[in-house]
Amino acid sequence: MKTKKLEEKLEKLKNKKLMKKKEKKVYLQAKKRYLKKIFGNSERPRISVFRSHKNIYAQIIDDQKGYTFCATSTLSKELKSLNESSATKEASFKVGKMLGELAQQKNIQNVVFDCGKKAYHGRIKSLAEGARLAGLLF
C-alpha cells in the first residue's frame, strides 16, 4: 500500500518536471520568434531593456558582433548617489537619458528599441522618452 502511494508521488513529480521543461521550451520558442523581428547591427544597434520589480537595466547591443556598446541601470553610481527610489518613472527617465548620453559619446544615433515582451508602458516608456530626449532616434 505504501509503495503504491510512493509510486504515485514519484509519477506526479515526473509529470511536474516534464511540464516545467515544456513550459520553458515554449517560452524559448516564443522568445526566438520575438527576437527574429528585432535585430541590432553596427549601423542600428538594439537597446535592450530589462525591468525588475526594483530596478531597470538598459544596454545598447550590436547583435552581429555580440558586442555591448554601453550599458546603464538604476544601480549605477551616478543614480544611486541621488538617494531616490529606483522603481519609479523618474529613475527610469534618468537611466534613459544617461544611456542616450553614453550613446552620443560613442557616435550612436539610430537604434532599435527592444522592451523584451514587456508592455511599452510606465517605466519602460519613460526610459524610452529619456533616451529620445538625449538624442537617440527610434
On average, the pLDDT of the chain sits at 88
Q: What is the pLDDT of residue 61?
A: 94
Work out the angle between the directed axes of helices 89-105 and 123-133 (0-180°, nearest 10): 40
Of the two residues 4 and 58, the one the predictor is more confident about is 58
Distance CA(86)–CA(78), nearest Å, equals 12
- What pTM value is reported for the model? 0.76
Q: What is the pLDDT of residue 85?
A: 87
Mean pLDDT, residues 69-84? 89
For residue 56, the cross-strand partners are 51
| Kind of pairing between the strands at 67-73 and 56-62 | antiparallel
For residue 112, the cross-strand partners are 46
Which residue type is seen at 7? E
